Amino acid sequence: MFENMLFEVQSISDARGTIYIVEQGQQLPFDVKRCYFIKELSSQPRGFHAHKTLRQLAVLVQGSCDFIMDDGSTKNNITLNSPKQALLIDTFVWHEMHNFSEDCILMVLASDVYLEEDYIRNYDEFLITVKQG
């Protein structure tokens, strides 16, 4: 379930610095309709939900953080600590973000606009939904 979730972000360095590239059809397996980023993070964890239809790619711009990815039967702890790493957050995966470094900046590319009704924010409801298939 969790294999193929980590993508390598292409990077090109020269004397001016490094450019990081996420491109449709390469690292991105969906069309992007929204981009948001999360920064100025405290020690409080975030996430604690799953999406019904939304697919997302989380790109670590700076710093580090841990993701707990849970498909209802298996939990995986994934540390992002390089801008060369991007994590696919697929549908019906309960995800939590923990242990943000002070400088952490997380950019997320999303397959749709923001719809609160797409979120499952209750863990018991999530387990019932995935068990029903």
> Any idea which residues carry the catalytic annotation?
49
Residue with smaller CB distance to ligand T46, 18 or 82 = 82
Which residues lie near ligand T46 (CB under 6 A)? 34, 36, 38, 46-47, 56, 58, 89, 108, 114
Least distance (Å) between residue 72 CB and ligand T46: 16
For residue 34, report the phi and psi dihedrals to the nearest 5 degrees. -155, 145
Nearest to 105 by CA among 60, 56, 42, 43: 60
Nearer to ligand T46, 38 or 127 (CB): 38
User: Largest Cα–Cα distance of the chain, in whole Å?
Assistant: 54
Cα separation, 21 vs 9, in Å, equals 6
Nearer Cβ to ligand T46 (108/127): 108
